[in-house]
Every structure is written in C-alpha cells, then in structure tokens.
Amino acid sequence: MIKIKDMKLFPMTADINSEGHLTIGDCDTIELVNKYGTPLYVIDEKAFKYKSNEYINSLKKRYQDFLVLYAAKAFACTSVFKIADQIGLGLDVVSGGELYFALKTNVNKKNIYFHGNNKSLEEIDLAISSDIGKIICDNFYELELVQNIAEKRNKNIDILIRLTPGIECHTHEYIKTGHLDSKFGFDLEDYDDVLNFIKTKGKNLLLKGIHAHIGSQIFELKPFADTIDILLEQFKYTKEKHKIELTEINIGGGIGISYTKEDDPITIDKWAEITTSTIKEKCKTLNLKLPKLICEPGRSLIGPSGITLYKAGSTKQVPNGRKFIAVDGGMADNPRPITYQAKYTAVLANKMNSSENMELVTIAGRYCETGDLLIKDILLPEIKAGDIIAVLNTGAYNYSMSSNYNMVPRPACVLVNEGTSEIIIERETYSDLIKSHKTPKRFM
C-alpha cells in the first residue's frame, strides 16, 4: 500500500515502511545507507524500465518504424546501458568514453548513434572501426574527418546531419529565431552546402536523415511539432533539389520532468501523440514517405528513477536569517543547482511520517563554494545531525556531471529492485583519486 500522499516527485516504487523510513524498490533507504554509506545514488530499476516502456509503447501504438535511444549523457553506467539494450532502446553517445562503455557492455552496435560537436579523429575512428549504427555530423570539419577515415578504412558510413532549426526552448517558453546562437549543428542556410559536400566529396558518406535537438527539460508540445515541421521541409527540399531520399528523422531529447511540486510537464503519451501525428500529417502534405522516427530521451527515463541519500551534519543559524543544514555531498555530486540554479525537492528519509517542528531550511553542500547549496528554502521537519536527507529526481545529469572537486571521492551508486540492492558503481577511494598523479623524482 502506497503511503506517500503525492507520488509525483518520487520514484514509482517509493513507499514508507513501518519504521517511517523511505523505501525504494522495496529496500529501506536507511538500511541502504548503513550498508553502502553516504552520499549514495539510488536507482530504481523498475522506474527506469517503466519510463522506457512508456516511450516505446506510446510510439508503438501510433507509428510503425521508430527507435528510442537512451541519451547516455544523462547517466552513463554500464548496468543502465545493459537494461536499456535489453528493453530494446538504442544508445545516443557523445564521446569516445561513452562509446567505449557501450561497446564494452555489448549493446546492439547498430543501435548506437554518435553525437558531438567536436569529435576527435580517434573517436570517429573508434566509431567507424566498431561498425556502430550512425554518426550524427555536426559541422564541415567533421564531415571531412568522417569521409577521410571512412575512405581509409574502405567503409561506407551512415550519417545524419544535425541542424539547428531556430527553435530555442527554456522549459516553460520557447522562441523561434532565424539563427540560434548555438555551438551545435549546421544552420539551415548551410544545409545546401552540406548536401553539395556530400555529393561531391563524400563518396563514403551515406546520408540517411536529419537530427535536431532543441533543448532539455521542455514542458511544451508545440516546439516538438514545430521542429518536425522544419525538418520535414528539409526532407522535401533534399528530395526535390538533390534527389536524395532521407529515411530517418531524429527529433532529439525527450520531455521535461518534475523536480518540484510546481513543475507540470507534459506526458510521454501526449508527446508521442503530437510527434507522430505531426509527422504523418506533414508527410502527407509534402508527399513524403514516412521516415523512421528516432528520439533520444535521457532525463525523463533516468531522472525520476534516481534519488541521492545524504547524511546531515553541521548546522548554522544566521541571526535573523537562514538556517543552513550541511550534508556530506553537494555540488560535486550534483552540480545542477550551482551551474544553472536547478531546483530540487528533498525529504527526511528516516522520518517520513514526521511533521514535527517544521522549519524553513537551506540544504548546503560540503564544498568550498558559497554557492554550493543543494536546495534553498525548503520546509522540512527538524533535522538533527545524522538524519538522512533524500534529494529526489537526481537520476539524470548528477553522477554524469559529477567531479572530484575538493578531492572528494565520488559516491557509490546502487540499483534497487524488489527488495534487492546491488552496487552498480563503486564508491571512489582516496587511492582512486591519487593514482593518476605523478610526482617527479626530483621532488622526492
């Protein structure tokens, strides 16, 4: 029986046990802390699978040919790659490192799509020699690199072209502009030159389609429809002017998620409805064959599946001001608040039923930056040193953006499911941190 009144911000298996502890995947979070320490990232396997299947099923009932890629940048982890592959998701990777992880995990190579605005020669060579699915080409420099390496290796390479369609999204609002001030992708006005390059100098490049990613944490449907409109116009242009029939439309990342009660994202089903109906209508109007639909959600798959458990330590009451509660993690394991003022919600995992002495507090990190505040002004029951604070919706862009600032080892990550917990990323140690450092002999 679910005892959490409003599940909106919790992983889908969250509950409260008889001791008043938060449970995830039928695991008591306080037992997890006792076993694995803090800070601790916890990933709910069921929640990740559920969200993944929601994308797959809501597309399946509306559209024949599609592939959902998991955007590895959200949380690059071999176990998650493995689960994604088993469910039938492909992978969107953006670096040689993510690609290496994907290859080591033995995922279906043909479903790996390689992104990035400055892929190195070595990275492209790894992609080409490994026979991955597709390379998404971002600029002319890269087109030349891919062509040269493909020619040397005597291979023909499937590519997509990343376009910037002039749509800019910021969660609640979006604008259409002639040009986007973005480092990513080709501007629409360069597209003709791209096609000319491929026809004249790209004999090993097989152009399959177009990609666009207009932003992350998007709460509206219309920008997705507008993007599709613009991309399909280019399909038509490519066919008529250059006699190339494109077969894949890649519409980038997925929908936004709720980090706070105020957040009101669209549903995956509504997103699927608008994207597929727009493609069908536009293709009919433009007399195009229906292309394969590719999307690459990250945040909405893994974000709500993860929480981070911290131990409360010191407190500071500013006279007539804020009360700071410091935890044993912060900006190095979750850089989103300090980087772009991202908001989060937290609960007291060891006192889920308590509503005593509610206080307005600020959850501060342990790092040497004044701005290292995980949550500003949140109402929580009185927190004592040793209490366990669970920050919710930390599955995406937390571990993957983490650092060793202040030489603090990265936390462990544990996968929970039906009462079992397994370490999927070990906690770093001081010796992990120091092992890449070399002291020249003359200092010894």
Ligand X SMILES: Cc1ncc(COP(=O)(O)O)c(C=O)c1O
Binding site for ligand X (CB under 6 A): 71, 74, 92, 115, 213, 216, 252-254, 296-300
Q: Which of 327, 346, 338 is nearest to 392 (CA)?
A: 346
d(CA 254, CA 211): 13
Active site residue 169: no
Residue of 77, 295, 368, 413 marked catalytic:
368
Q: What are phi and psi of 15, to 5 degrees?
A: -155, 180
Q: How far is the CB of 162 from ligand X (least distance, A)?
A: 8
> Do the Cβ atoms of 54 and 406 come closer than 8 Å?
no
d(CA 207, CA 199): 10
User: Which lies closer to ligand X via its Cβ, residue 10 or residue 219?
Assistant: 219
d(CA 339, CA 374): 11
Distances (CA, A) of 134 to 124, 146, 250: 11, 11, 11
Q: How far is the CB of 322 from ligand X (least distance, A)?
A: 32
Helix (H) or strand (E) holding 388: strand 388-392
Task: Give the sign of the dihedral formed by CA 222, CA 228, CA 229, CA 231.
Answer: positive
Q: How far is the CB of 155 from ligand X (least distance, A)?
A: 24
Q: How far is the CB of 71 from ligand X (least distance, A)?
A: 4
d(CA 399, CA 408): 13
> Do the Cβ atoms of 416 and 25 come closer than 8 Å?
yes
User: Which lies closer to ligand X via its Cβ, residue 212 or residue 288?
Assistant: 212
Comparing every residue's Cβ against ligand X, the nearest one is: 253
User: Which lies closer to ligand X via its Cβ, residue 71 or residue 408?
Assistant: 71
User: Which lies closer to ligand X via its Cβ, residue 10 or residue 114?
Assistant: 114
User: Which lies closer to ligand X via its Cβ, residue 25 or residue 265?
Assistant: 265
Q: How far is the CB of 256 from ligand X (least distance, A)?
A: 7
Catalytic residues: 368
